[in-house]
Structure 1
């Protein structure tokens, strides 16, 4: 799963819009937050249920 260690899986990047992280390293840059969230959601395990 894409996520930053101790931080959000995506956050604003002043140079390229939004950055998506995995293990604290940037793995993708997007122009919009919606694109960043779509990348993170696409990487979720298929059997992951709703958060409680």
Structure 2
């Protein structure tokens, strides 16, 4: 019984870490995309002024 809970907790931990990493990377990619778009918009504004 104890062994099952240990493996279950271990699996849960891996899932949480994996989920955290994927959420973090998605958030990071989104931030990078926002920054690129902002730079692009700023450069276009400079050109139009």
* TM-score, L = length of structure 2: 0.28
Name the structure, 1 or 2, with higher relative contact order (CA <8 Å, separation 6+). 1
Considering fraction of residues, name the structure with more helix: 2
Considering fraction of residues, name the structure with more strand: 1
* TM-score, L = length of structure 1: 0.27
